[in-house]
Structure 1
């Protein structure tokens, strides 16, 4: 079953929009480096309800095993350790199995 991996980022006030975009480019590049990443969607928040989160991305994976492979990869660890964590105040991760119909089983 497809898995969605959603990350919301709250960058430090000292981080410029250009620096934030560089971080997102690093995330987007993970699709080119890791075959387990099926798709990456990036964006800048425009909602007043974001609770301070300014940027986000969604990645899709074939299944939970693929997400686990991604999570443990050296490329992902490098992106988090050297590019994301040094630039953010807060992060929110939300992973879920994508249901293939409009009314999910809960």
Structure 2
């Protein structure tokens, strides 16, 4: 019993350490309203892509549009992947004024958003 408990405690401790050292990913999927123009969407793409220069906590950033032949995107056309050193980076990013300004640009054209955060393994 003590060996099992010790093994569990050790596993949880090591898993917590691994999470602390693992990069934190913030995935954002966007779909746009039918009346969003190509210019509106380009403005949003550029505003999102500008965030790494404005928010120091962002370690890496990439984005693209859906090219899947499977037809399972459910209306989402854009995927943005923001990488932080750890969860603390996300906690800096979300309330940051540059992020808030971006959301202001995004909202009028936004139909739907799906956000998933995870610790990289």
Q: Which category describes the TM-score, using the shorter chain as reference length?
A: 0.7 to 0.9
Hey, what does 2:33 align to over in structure 1? Answer: 12
Hey, what does 2:81 align to over in structure 1? Answer: 58
Hey, what does 2:4 align to over in structure 1? Answer: none
Task: Give 5+ residue unaligned stretches, structure 1.
Answer: 100-106
Please give the residue correspondences for 1:21-40 in structure 2 after superposition, counting only pairs within 5 Å. Answer: 21-40=42-61
Q: Where does structure 1 differ by over 2 angstroms across 4 or more consecutive aligned residues?
A: none
- Aligned match of 1:84 in 106, 114, 121? 106
SS at match of 1:72: coil
Q: What count of residue pairs does the alignment treat as equivalent?
A: 98
User: Which has the larger share of helix?
Assistant: 2
SS at match of 1:92: strand
Hey, what does 2:98 align to over in structure 1? Answer: 75
Name the TM-score, length of structure 2 as normaliser: 0.77
RMSD of aligned residue pairs (Cα, Å): 0.9
Name the TM-score, length of structure 1 as normaliser: 0.88
Give, in whole Å, the separation in 2 of the partners of 1:3 and 1:35: 15
1:43-102 CA deviation, whole Å, 9 max, x = no partner? 11122210000112000000000111001101101111x211111110000000001xxx
Give, in whole Å, the separation in 1 of the partners of 2:86 and 2:107: 26
Task: Give 5+ residue unaligned stretches, structure 2.
Answer: 1-21
